Chains A and B, each alone.
Chain A
Amino acid sequence: MRRRSIIFPIIITFVRMSGNRTDFLRDKKILLVDDEPEVLDMIESLLRDEGFSSVTRATTTKESLEQCRLHQPDLAILDVMLPDGDGFSLFKEIRKSLDFPILFLTARDQPDDLLEGLGLGADDYMVKPFLPRELILRIYAILRRSYKADDPLIVLNGCTVDVGRAEAYRNGEIFPLTAKEVKILITLYNSANRIVTIDSICNSVWGDNRYGYENSLMAHICRIREKIEENASSPSVLITVKGLGYKLNISQ
């Protein structure tokens, strides 16, 4: 393995590592739309407890469009049934001028509704009632996916990965990453702390034709571990879930 020792990037790395890397996600502006004030109160308190500082709310379609124009949110959580219209039409209306991720939150659980919501291009769809933890995790996942360019650094336990430069920094050393390794890490990071199946990793790295890549994936994972783990033989960051897939542990 090729190792370079350059002082300058290490300094940058240590400076950047000092903060919690999910902070920039918590600065994102979130718009909540629901016709029930109790639900709005609950989700808002949930988000504020989680550290999201910029949360705005609306109870009607009209109000939502107003808020969109005024605040330009980074993420919207839309209820499907609103007093002056439905969430799907609101979605289309918003998409005419703005492009930020949208999650549908609805009391309708029919498969048709789900397909309609996702078919429009929504980023996610949750049925009420939901576990607050799950909503928070999905919000993080959407934000991470949508705003990864804002911060190309993935901060792991004892190691930082600069996705833009395709390098991993650990113990004062720089480990260059291949394009495939970066792709694998991004895929895992987008669903951090969740198991990602072998199939979906292969799918996002090699495309649809994923047969025969399992062994190749395993080899890539081994090489990534040598670069990012303190002890590659007993990994603590990039975990194997036998037969299923892999999980990238990050602290939130």
Chain B
Amino acid sequence: MTTMNKSLIHLLLVCCGTGCVANGAREVYQALKDNLTSDDKAVLAATTSARATGCHGLCAQGPFVRILPEDITYCRVKAADIPEIVEKTLKQGEVVKRLLFRDRQKKTLVQGQNDIPFYQRQTRVALRNVGLIDPSSLQDYLERGGYRTLEKSLLDMRPEQVIEEIIKSGLRGRGGGGFPTGLKWKACAATPAQPRYIICNGDEGDPGAFMDESIMEGDPHSVLEGMIIAAYAVGASNGFIYVRDEYAQSVASLRKAIEEAENHGFLGENILGSALSFNIEIVRGGGAFVCGEETALIASIEGNVGEPRDKYVFPSEKGLWGQPTIINNVETWANIPVIMERGASWFTSLGTEGSKGTKVFSLVGKVANTGLVEVPMGTTLREIIFDIGGGVPKGRSFKAVQTGGPSGGCIPSELLDLKVDFDSLSQAGSMMGSGGLIVMDDRTCMVEVVRYYLSFLAGESCGKCVPCREGIKCLLEILTRICHGQGEIGDIALLEDIAETMQQASLCALGRTASNPVLSTLRYFREEYLEHIEGQRCPAGICRELSEFWIDPVICTGCGLCLPRCPVEGIKGEKKQAHWIESDKCIRCGECIDSCSFQAIKVK
């Protein structure tokens, strides 16, 4: 193994994250393996190694094959491209130009990952290994310095010192609430009862967010290492990772990592010869959003219906099976080993006064460079969405960015220079949440989006308390009416009234925050509500009863692109002449609008 490493010339990193796998990355990886080991390429096999890694971040351009040490990054690779990559790049040292990243702004081809603007403004802390290592290889993790901080913490530090370091780092939980992690640990350690438990919250219920998934998939050992360090700090005996039902690949990756960690003495009895004994078990969720809430999650692990309970007593005192329990989010756990390695003062040098470190965002929706982005806290929305994300595609205009999941809010373009951290987002009426940033353009109807969130929440409310159960239902009914063109003048006041009651009277945070989407859009997009109610018009052309489309004959070039996209043959016209829509046929699906490159199709 080591001798081969010495003569190793090329390292090929093939992204096998969920997004790239959906685009054929497994086939790419297999083709690479086949090509490297075929008879006549035996020499290559000895000097090249290929790794299937986690998400490289820029999922919009995947699948990726990245070649080190030259740092050649190939985008949108297909299995059929592999022979050419092997022949040209590996054997002859030539770059295959057509597979390089195309910088649309500068109109140049970019060779290295570090030269792609998307990556240049990022600081990868929680994602430090994702995309670089093979998650199934403990060896890869060790080569990146893995488990060294566990050793240091366990053998050179007292538990109180570990807790003190985490407190000093100012790390706040990345799962949404932003509670100081060190204080949570301290409270748990101070509770006399034994045994104590550690939980990793891998439920990631927010639709539109997938950073926890990418960490569990792409760097599972960093989560384990964080949890083991905490086990030492608070004296816990057992750990659980609760993974959401849809994340089969995360489960597989974690399972493998636990097995390897056990085989090498990082988990189990007397870890690294110390007095610490600790095990980790995976629990698969059942697909209920509310189970991401910590008390509901605990109920779910215990084998109950996942209903939250009142938090007069925190889980750090009475959690799983009534015992002291620390529950932290996946990204929070992944931060622990680096903080212990590089120290609290390094960590506090990143971020803002009230929010230290970095945050991983999933940048999705109507934005060019969709994917995962990690930046220091305090980076502005504009930098994230425009500089890193490349702005809104297809020549459309930015309308809002939704943060914080179903309990967050929509932030308008006036606030694009907002520095993102826990506190500034709350002040803007939204939330950090788990870090989903969903970009919306002028083809997104804010009223309909809020209706969507409430229908989501109506399905997810556990129904235990009345304000949440009935309140969401009422809000949803009113919003549905408005979207169908049956809104009434009094509706806006009614929405506000119900929303405020729910904020005050609900049992758990699901109900208390469910009104955020309503209140934030009423704050920033009240006009759009009025258009629906008074003007009987949906400016985005989404609510079918309130939309009508027409083709502007002056702009239409007659290219005919929209014609075959219409599912009901509702578009007519000759080539090179202005087209028109037969409005009695049109079902207002909007397919044509998205196909027209000239924005000739208008909403009445």
Q: A and B: partners?
A: no
